Amino acid sequence: MIEVTGLTKTYGKKRGIDRISFTIEDGEIVGFLGPNGAGKTTTMNIITGYLSANSGAARINGIDILEDPVAAKKHIGYLPEQPPLYLDMTVDEYLNFIYDLKRVTDFKRRSHIDEIAQLVGIKDHMKRLIRNLSKGYKQRAGLAQALIGNPEVLILDEPTVGLDPKQIIEIRNVIKTLGKNRTIILSTHILQEVSAICERVLVINNGQLVADDKPENLSALITGDRKLTVRVAGPRENVRRILRDVEGVQFADVTVQAERGSYDFLVEAKPNIDIRKPMFAALARAGYPILQLKSMDLSLEDIFIKLVEEKKTSRKPAARPLNKPDIKLDLSEDIPGSALDLSSDISDDNSIPTTENKESD
Amino acid sequence: MSAILKRDLRAYFTSPLGYVFIAAYIIVMNGTFYLFNIASSTNSIKTVFSVMLYTLVIIVPILTMRTLSEDYKQRTDQLLLTSPVKPLGIVFGKFFAAYLVFVFSLALTLIYVIIISAFGKVNIPSVIGNYVAILGIAAVYISIGVFISSLTENQLIANISTIGVFALLLILDLLYNLIKVGWIRVVLYWLSIYRRYNTFILGVFSVADFVYYLSVAGIFIFMTVRMLEKKRWS
């Protein structure tokens, strides 16, 4: 179990994180979502005892990380953003060193290390120098390091960075398997990762906790169910008219001419209505074939803009308790700027959080 | 601590550093021994120890320059500081790894004693005194080196600054000879690690001076621990 209360860390005058509080129960997998520089790494570094907060406390299984660091650290496996590897060792030597460093006694050395190497898929590279490993394998060696000693709490800072798509799926599965009997925090800025692994999401921006919710509530945003891009072969105006007449459609317009004689349309449904079937039927009746139909994925930036704006507006009238954000992550309103003009929406000028402050640890 | 000690000790010999240190040390020492003992047929090894003192100024930084700076650079300090090990354990592990490499090199010079004893009489108490003293002064050198390495993530800067600090200590020693003002001499005497060494070279085993060396080494180890702890508050 991880309990964090009122963590604040300042770097000079700049606030790294600001009064962050949350509790993670045993066996929970929690995603830490936020843009670069939001304070994810800082928070993780504080929980693991690498940094100290200016105020607030972090407790691991009830042990305060500042009061009894050695006992608290025994319960933690930590994979930092940059895996802490000794490049002059082989993977096998490295994992043996970690085994000694963590003073593991509950597991037999050889079988424990082999088991973990098997789990993260680095078994075939045990005799190679870490220096010579590719980024993906370095990441695995880092993950293996965190797992040695079978800690009850795992803290993983962007565990799938640098892996190829197949490896990402493998590692996600590993984390899911591990999560059955452990407490896991993993940070990421990939939305799909959160929906794939986590049971709960903490969204952090500019050092503050903006949302603490289940991914189901985020899923409306993640999958963008209500917004579809449809490519239809047929005359532009006719198709648009037909689309607008479909029951349940709130909005429909052309975005671009896709191929010769066909156009891409952005169609938005009214809440809780699946317009795909009636839309198909209507277009089929008119004899305009659908060439492509996909739901529109929203970028992380869109969600942040949404969350941050809600936070701003909600804060003004009455100060809400910071540690209990009750923002609902649904799509009941338009996300500003995301309707037609997709290109500009994803481009830099709108992605406020990413370009601002850099993580300074 | 023992895990870190083992790893660092191994690292000295999977990289050129350990070999460079031992080779440089042995070449200089053998040369000195040949010139001042064999070629001049004396049984006193005090020159060897006196040269050793100055040789260490140049080569100890090779041992200590990367103890902590390399960890900062590779971010492995993050691993060490989030492991269930106290900062003191980390520093001790690193310190003793470097120290053991030195002790091993020093052990190689025991052959001089054997050679001398084959051809003449060895002043055993004086030899033991010299060995103990050099072990003490090496602890001071290495603890200073480890401390300086904890200040930077650049090995080269660590190396050069360590040599610089040792040189400064030498200058203090020279000033001691030049300045006649009483109280300044007292201050300089307390800061001069070389001056105290002369007693040992002359064949007197001074417990006070040996304790002085251990205390100075202890102070620098303590300061290194503080540096590691301070990182958390940066």
Same-domain status, A164 and A286? no
- Chain B CB within 8 Å of residue A68 CB: no
Task: Give residue-wise pLDDT tens across range B52-86.
Answer: 988 999 999 999 999 999 999 999 999 999 999 99
The packing angle between helices A165-179 and A135-147, to 10°, is 10
Q: Could you give the number of structural domains in chain B?
A: 1
How much is the pLDDT for A285?
Answer: 92
- pLDDT for residue A360 is more than 90: no
* Residue A217 in tokens: 């509530």
Same-domain status, A249 and A288? yes
Same-domain status, A216 and A231? no
Q: For residue A162, is it within any domain?
A: yes
Q: Which pLDDT band, with edges at 50, 70 and 90, does A123 fall under?
A: very high
How much is the pLDDT for A47?
Answer: 94
CB contact under 8 A, A76 and B232: no
Residue with the bigger pLDDT between B29 and A304: it is B29
* Boundary-marking domain end, from A243, A267, A295: A295
Q: For residue A256, is it within any domain?
A: yes
* Residue A335 in tokens: 């996300």
CA distance A153 to chain B (A): 13
How crowded is residue B110: how many other Cβ atoms within 10 Å of its Cβ?
11
Residue with the bigger pLDDT between A171 and A94: it is A94
Task: Give residue-wise pLDDT tens across range B167-223.
Answer: 998 888 888 888 887 888 888 888 888 888 878 877 778 888 889 999 999 999 999
d(CA B41, CA A29) in angstroms, rounded, equals 76
- pLDDT for residue A338 is more than 70: no
Same-domain status, A174 and A238? no
CB contact under 8 A, B6 and A97: yes
Q: What is the CATH number of the domain that holds A156?
A: 3.40.50.300
- pLDDT for residue A33 is more than 90: no
Q: For residue A82, is it within any domain?
A: no
Q: What is the CATH number of the domain that holds A247?
A: 3.30.70.100
Q: For residue A240, is it within any domain?
A: yes
Residue of A nearest to B87 (CA): A70
CB contact under 8 A, B7 and A97: yes
Same-domain status, A168 and A271? no
- Chain B CB within 8 Å of residue A43 CB: no
Which positions in chain A touch B79 (Cβ < 8 Å)? 80, 84, 98, 101, 145
Same-domain status, A179 and A239? no
Torsion angle (degrees, nearest 10) of CA A280, A286, A291, A296: -50
How much is the pLDDT for A21?
Answer: 93
Give me the mean pLDDT over the A297-320 stretch: 58
Provide the pairing of β-strand A227-233 with A262-269. antiparallel
Residue of B nearest to A129 (CA): B14
CB contact under 8 A, B78 and A102: no
Task: Give residue-wise pLDDT tens across range B188-199.
Answer: 888 888 888 878
CB contact under 8 A, A76 and B80: no
- pLDDT for residue A223 is more than 90: no
Q: For residue A41, is it within any domain?
A: yes
Q: Which of B11, B82, B85 sits opposite A78 (nearest CB)?
A: B82
Same-domain status, A173 and A70? yes
Q: For residue A108, is it within any domain?
A: no
* Boundary-marking domain end, from A295, A322, A345: A295
Q: For residue A89, is it within any domain?
A: no
How much is the pLDDT for A341?
Answer: 36
Burial of B12 (0-12, 13-18, 19+ CB in 10 A): buried
CB contact under 8 A, A88 and B11: yes
CA distance B18 to chain A (A): 14
How much is the pLDDT for A317?
Answer: 43
How much is the pLDDT for A305?
Answer: 66
Task: Give residue-wise pLDDT tens across range B5-30.
Answer: 999 999 999 999 999 999 999 999 99
List A residues 287-346 in contact with B (Cβ-Cβ < 8 A). none
Q: For residue A320, is it within any domain?
A: no
- pLDDT for residue B140 is more than 70: yes
Same-domain status, A288 and A157? no
- Chain B CB within 8 Å of residue A73 CB: yes
Q: Could you give the number of structural domains in chain A?
A: 2
Give the range of the structural domain holding residue A236, as residue numbers without chain letter: 225-295
d(CA B164, CA A350) in angstroms, rounded, equals 52
Burial of A138 (0-12, 13-18, 19+ CB in 10 A): buried
Burial of A265 (0-12, 13-18, 19+ CB in 10 A): buried
Q: What is the mean pLDDT of chain A?
A: 80
Q: Which pLDDT band, with edges at 50, 70 and 90, does A299 fall under?
A: low
Give the range of the structural domain holding residue B180, as residue numbers without chain letter: 2-231
Which positions in chain A touch B84 (Cβ < 8 Å)? 70-71, 73-74, 102-103
Same-domain status, A64 and A170? yes
Task: Give residue-wise pLDDT tens across range A36-91.
Answer: 788 899 999 999 999 999 999 999 999 999 999 999 999 999 999 899 999 999 99
How much is the pLDDT for A295?
Answer: 75
* Residue A117 in tokens: 């190497």
Same-domain status, A71 and A157? yes
d(CA B78, CA A265) in angstroms, rounded, equals 51
Same-domain status, A265 and A166? no
Q: What residues in chain B have their Cβ under 8 A from chain A's Cβ atoms?
A: 2-4, 6-7, 10-11, 14-15, 74-86, 232-234
- pLDDT for residue A350 is more than 70: no
